[in-house]
Amino acid sequence: MSDAIKGNILTAAGWIRGEINFNERIAAIDGAAVDPLANGDDYIIPGFIDLHVHGGAGKDIMEGGDAVHAIAAIHARHGTTSMLATTMTAPPEDIDHALKAIGAAVANRRSGGARVLGAHLEGPYINSGKLGAQPNFARAAKLADVERLAAFAPLKLITVAPEIAGHLNLVRELTAAGMRVQIGHTLGSYEDGVAALEHGAAGFTHLFNAMSGLHHREPGMVGAALAHAEYAELIPDLLHVHPGAIKAAMRAIPKLYCVTDSTAATGMPDGEYMLGRHTVHKCMGGVRLPDGTLAGSTLTMDQALRNLVGLGLDLADASARVSTYAADYLGMQERGRLAPGAYADMVVLDRDLKIKAVYIEGELL
């Protein structure tokens, strides 16, 4: 016995008005091509995929234990159907503790929560001169260290500053081992960025933030991304990146996709929260260190989608940037799209783009 929902359905071939039949996976999609603006039906789009999640609901990934499940649950309520739990730069024992909990969550998704696909290791292999909101426990990477960490949880993404001695060779080794390497928290030059891409780096961590900026005579890491990247992640909370810079990046990077970089403060009232070993403050819609440095966000993916549409993107383009491109980046053909055989990860939106229902692997939240 399968379930079914009806509405304006965003398929890979475009919008149709019809019905999706599904269990854990989509069994069939039937309907006729439609302009979704021509009727008042709900929108049915692929579930959101967030590759950069530090926290939510007052919980931080670095806490370990059950924190990851609480985080997966609050993001699921905002349409995130799968995610990467993201660690902070920290002492080795803290990272081990967090990854063990992430590994357990990968093996056992709890009802009502987003599917945890693995870990995004955001540090400690970054430049101590571009920490952003990361604690200062940066260190150079060694393959044996990364392999040890990979035993605790699948390392789907690893953020690396390529200018650190030895890191270019490591980028090649990690890429050969099937891990995606991103450039981030870096003081590297344009040339460093190009070299990293040539060695197998695949993307950029929160483009524009915590990296050397663009100048017309010194293009910096931002210039390397704009000139050469196919993929990069960006935080579209309209605090981290100016709307004009977002539009410029979208013109330059074909598959620019969105992340939340969300923290424990997501879904919570103003106040103090933990981000790794840092105490951060939520106020005026943002999260900051005591010195005012932005420290992650309180963004959710449904708001990211609405922000993109507010910038002028049509809903199909915005949907790709909060779902399909992230799935493509990780090589996942069974997520991030509505097609027979794909997981039944779906978000139902009303005409104001507010969530009406979320399905994760066929389960209605």
Domains of the chain with CATH codes? 47-335 (3.20.20.140)
Q: CA of 195: how far to CAs of 168, 189, 212, 264, in Å? A: 8, 10, 15, 35
Q: Which of 115, 109, 77 is nearest to 358 (CA)?
A: 77
Say if residue 85's pLDDT is above 80. Answer: yes
Cα 242 from Cα 24, distance rounded (Å): 39
The mean per-residue pLDDT over the stretch 346-358 comes to 98
Residue 176 in contact with residue 119, Cβ under 8 Å? no
Mean pLDDT of 273-285: 87
**DSSP characters for 43-87?**
EEEEPEEEEEE-EETTEEGGG-TTHHHHHHHHHHTTTEEEEEEEE
Tell me, what DSSP letter sits at residue 110? P
Mean pLDDT of 319-331: 98
Regarding pTM above 0.95, the answer is yes
In one-letter notation, the amino acid at residue 218 is: E
Secondary structure element (H or E) that encloses residue 7, with its range: strand 3-11
Over the chain, what is the mean pLDDT?
Answer: 96
Active-site residue (options: 50, 237, 261, 345): 261
Is the predicted pLDDT of residue 1 greater than 80, yes or no? no
pLDDT the model gives residue 2: 84
Residue 143 · residue 110 · CB < 8 Å: no
Would residue 261 show up in a list of annotated catalytic residues for this protein? yes
120 pLDDT tier (thresholds 50, 70, 90): very high
DSSP alpha helix (H) spans, 185-344: 190-198, 220-228, 243-252, 301-310, 315-319, 325-329
- What is the spatial distance between Cα 11 and Cα 5, in angstroms, rounded to a whole number? 14
> 21-68 pLDDT, tens per residue?
999 999 999 999 999 999 999 999 999 999 999 999 999 999 999 999
